[in-house]
Structure 1
Amino acid sequence: MRTSADLRATALRLAAAQELHPENRSPFVLLEDACTAASEGWSERLERLRAQHAERKARMEQEGVRLPELPERPVIGGPLASFGAQLMQLLNARADWHEGLVVVLAPTRVERPDALCDALRVLLGASGLGAVRWILIDPEPAALEPVAGQLGEQAMRTVFLVDEAEAQRDLARMLDAAEAAPPDIVGPARVGAAWPRGVSPPLRPGHPPADPESIDALLREEGVSLPLAGSRGTELARLVLRAAQAMRRGQPVEAVQQQARARDLCVQADLAREATLMELVLGAYLVAAGDAGRAARIYVAARERAEQAGLPDLGAQAQFALGALHLRAREHAEAAVAYARGAALARESGSAILTIEALRLAGQAQLDVGNADAAAQSWAAAIEVADAAGAPEVKASSAAEVARALAALFRRRGLRDKAERLEERSRDME
């Protein structure tokens, strides 16, 4: 299954959920370990197979069903051979109704696609593993396509991607329909869904009108402040969508104009969070329009607005964007400062993931200007944050990459023991 980064999690859930299909009789195992330059990940996958079998065994015992124990961890030749032997153990340690095994292989990162493809060919051709079926979640750009190509008709290919052109046409039709709808229209027609042209349903007895203008009037009468509940919210949604549509069509100047109007609307309504969000998007559109100087000013304004409103998470995002602008201009020292401030705001917001990312980028910017000590301090701080965070947050962050970068720095300084511990830690993080 070939998919994109934004759809990867959904594709993974869809694939793994097939274990619950009423016609399926095979246990599924899910392997997300990365294939990096340092390790192809087969040892880690072997341990994951054993852990998932143990979890399945415990859950089946709760239902009064026995699943056999696995023998001792196999050690046969190299990591790949041992992994293959572990698959054979799983094929033998099964319930009465089980048939074969399904391996969902979805590496989070593939740095050595040729090596991974070669290993998969070996496993697919192994005589003792004929009962194992494979579901490969292939990231874009495709890394595992050569394996499917070699199998020919034996492999089923699925492309799980969004048709960008069709999505843009749908959005354009929706916006045009929404803007053409009568002011008093209610229901799906307000957002561009199919509706008889010029037709509004009769009012429900005992219910007030639901069109934006009537909602505004009712809120004023009741003295309730919900700035985006009526016509202003409808206008904001249309401005944001029009800006996004212009950007997708390669019209950044038009996108900037629409997005600036959306930001101004939120400022007039005294909506600090929404205004900051609109400002962050506006900065990105300005970068696309080639106005990096104005974009930098917008990001500074967004961070200041966020700090004043007590929104450190958005302030951190503004600093990320500002740091990226400095890197683009090869201003590495300024980028390091921007990311360090972003890390402080991220820590204040309580987001371990944002804090780790900011410290990683700050350290890399310091290293780019030759300040290895400052880089090591930033990366060590990131690892401390990861150590205090939960496993899901660590896995979703670049903590493993930080550990490898710091290990490489230690190795260059001759600190081999520290480097090896960090490399082992990086594998645990993944």
Structure 2
Amino acid sequence: MDSIAQPLTRIVEAVQRFVIAPEVRLLHVVTESSLRLAVLEHIAASEHHGDNHSPFFVLETPTQDGEDEWEGRTEELRADYEELRSLLAKAGEGVSLPELWPPPRAQRELPRFCLELAEALKRFSSPFDGVVLVLAPVEVRDPKRWVSEVKALLGRPELKKARLIVVEADGAHCEPLAVALADAGMRVDARPDEQQAREDMAQMLAAMASAPAGATGAQVIGAAGPRVAPPPRKGAPAPMSAAQREEMARELKVAPALLEPGFQQSLRLKVLAAAHALREGRPVQAVQEQREVRDLCLNAGLNREAVTMELILGGYVLQAKHPAQALEVFQAARKRAEAHQLPELAVQAQLSLASTLLVLQRSEEAAHAYAEAGKLGVGASVPVLAIEAYRMCGQILAGAGKTAEATSAWKQALAAAEKAAPEQRSASSAPEAARQLAELCRKHGLKAQADSLEAQATALETPSPRRAQEA
């Protein structure tokens, strides 16, 4: 698809120019989240360009609100250096790197990173020529600080052999910095063209709709292939009968419809058509297509899929600016989920129902609905959803001046967090609930309780050592 190929082609061309222009200190890349990994893969592949003599170190630690993310980048730098040293030793081609340097003492954040980078640069002698740092934070929460820190890296004379490729997927934060560098800065826009993306999707949907019955492989998504199914090969098994499909479905424990020729293709086509209609600004058509998707799943006995598609349908109805109708869809989704013993989907339906009540400005009912979602989440053993439900309930109650009820809801959120795994707690909104409760305590002069809750919030944000090591 050209909408994807074109930005990636621009990336390849830009990095190639960067490689052969050592006077350029900064290449700024702006892209979108959907293309971020592909962009990084193409950048990393450029390390093997014939004219490149600098290793590429890709550092992805996100920027956070005042957190010491440069410590994370330091660990990434050390790990990449050690990996390169090990690879060179195994290659046995006469090129080697000294052992890893000892970490400097009493240094934190950016200054320590600069010291570590300077130590790495000292160890890169011929045939190496400095290093290329690919700074690609997963997200940038403090753009102003981020830009100033990148500028500081470029300004240090001991780091002049370090060239930067900055990849941003949530805004062109460092673009002005690249502009200010004049000939020492380069920019490339690796975002897909929205109009081209829509046209590509429309063409793919049309090709999928015209794919022959029994299409397989690339033909299913509209790629090239015979317009008529080829005759069966000699000795090929005959198509399954309805009875055989049912028997195989029982053995595989799946719905028989999944084995029917063309069913999955038809379902896939309608799902994509609904999403495309919404993106094109045609919410009414999106609702109609998505309703057909839900009905296809219902008629095929795909109960879990039917509830999932109904939840998406409710979202499309909201996009069509019909919140009252969306409320009915989410209510039906919860009933269907409970009827088919799908408790986690029932929780999701209840959360959607509660948020729709907020859209309708029925705050009191929304608070009750979130409380109900929290109760369902605890019962269904999905504590992350329970945490979010109780936190939202408390937030609504606090906004209405119901301090005691809000306190109770936030305490229930923290109680639910105790039942979650450490990595789930750190990724949930439990720390926010603890801080909201701490703020409430501080307003009422309960300083000790507030301090304790702040400490609890910090602890909740910290993943387990095993999880941190994996990351």
Q: What TM-score results when the alignment is normalised by the length of structure 2?
A: 0.73
Report what 1:290 is aligned to.
Answer: 321
- Give the distance between the partners of 1:350 and 1:274, measured in 2 at CA: 20
Report what 2:185 is aligned to.
Answer: 155
The structural deviation recorded for 1:359 is 4.3
- Give the distance between the partners of 1:93 and 1:405, measured in 2 at CA: 49
Tell whether 2:227 aligns with 1:202: no
Report what 1:128 is aligned to.
Answer: 158
Alignment match of 2:451 (pick from 413, 417, 430): 417
Report what 2:94 is aligned to.
Answer: none
Unaligned runs of 5+ in 2: 1-28, 91-96
* Letter of the 2:71 counterpart: L
Unaligned runs of 5+ in 1: none
Deviation per residue, 1:222-281 (Å, 9 max, x gap): 786521222443332333233223222222222222221221222122211111111011
The structural deviation recorded for 1:404 is 4.9
Q: Secondary structure, in 3 states, of the residue corresponding to 1:203?
A: coil
- Give the distance between the partners of 1:309 and 1:334, measured in 2 at CA: 26
Report what 1:319 is aligned to.
Answer: 350
1:50-199 mapped onto 2 (5 Å cutoff): 50=75, 53=78, 57=82, 67-75=99-107, 79-92=109-122, 99-183=129-213, 188-197=218-227, 199=228
| Structure of higher RCO (CA pairs closer than 8 Å, 6+ residues apart) | 2
Report what 2:302 is aligned to.
Answer: 271
The structural deviation recorded for 1:376 is 3.3
The structural deviation recorded for 1:123 is 2.1
Report what 2:245 is aligned to.
Answer: 219
**What is the RMSD of the two structures over their aligned residues, measured on CA atoms?**
3.9
- Give the distance between the partners of 1:401 and 1:9, measured in 2 at CA: 30
Q: Secondary structure, in 3 states, of the residue corresponding to 1:228?
A: helix
The structural deviation recorded for 1:346 is 4.5
* Letter of the 1:49 counterpart: T
- Give the distance between the partners of 1:384 and 1:106, measured in 2 at CA: 33
Asked if the contact 2:338–2:346 (Cα under 8 Å) also holds between the matched residues in 1, the reply is yes
1:340-379 mapped onto 2 (5 Å cutoff): 340-347=371-378, 353-370=384-401, 371=403, 372-379=406-413
Report what 1:34 is aligned to.
Answer: 63
1:248-259 mapped onto 2 (5 Å cutoff): 248-259=279-290
Deviation per residue, 1:347-390 (Å, 9 max, x gap): 5665565454444434433333333413531453465356x323
- Give the distance between the partners of 2:211 and 2:380, measured in 1 at CA: 42
The structural deviation recorded for 1:33 is 3.6
- Give the distance between the partners of 2:461 and 2:46, measured in 1 at CA: 28
Q: Secondary structure, in 3 states, of the residue corresponding to 1:157?
A: strand
Asked if the contact 2:132–2:165 (Cα under 8 Å) also holds between the matched residues in 1, the reply is yes
- Give the distance between the partners of 1:221 and 1:72, measured in 2 at CA: 67
Would the alpha carbon gap of residues 385 and 241 (structure 1) be closer, same or farther in structure 2, given more than 3 Å must change?
Answer: same
Asked if the contact 1:32–1:108 (Cα under 8 Å) also holds between the matched residues in 2, the reply is yes
* Letter of the 2:367 counterpart: A
Q: Secondary structure, in 3 states, of the residue corresponding to 1:84?
A: helix
- Give the distance between the partners of 1:223 and 1:358, measured in 2 at CA: 38
The structural deviation recorded for 1:403 is 5.4
Q: Secondary structure, in 3 states, of the residue corresponding to 2:259?
A: coil
Tell whether 2:422 aligns with 1:389: yes
- Give the distance between the partners of 2:455 and 2:229, measured in 1 at CA: 68
Would the alpha carbon gap of residues 278 and 26 (structure 1) be closer, same or farther in structure 2, given more than 3 Å must change?
Answer: same
Report what 2:70 is aligned to.
Answer: 45
Deviation per residue, 1:391-414 (Å, 9 max, x gap): xx5565455555554554455453
Report what 1:4 is aligned to.
Answer: 32
Identical positions, percent: 35
Would the alpha carbon gap of residues 97 and 7 (structure 1) be closer, same or farther in structure 2, given more than 3 Å must change?
Answer: same
Asked if the contact 2:59–2:135 (Cα under 8 Å) also holds between the matched residues in 1, the reply is yes
The structural deviation recorded for 1:325 is 1.1
- Give the distance between the partners of 1:47 and 1:190, measured in 2 at CA: 43
Q: Secondary structure, in 3 states, of the residue corresponding to 2:165?
A: strand
Would the alpha carbon gap of residues 174 and 138 (structure 1) be closer, same or farther in structure 2, given more than 3 Å must change?
Answer: closer
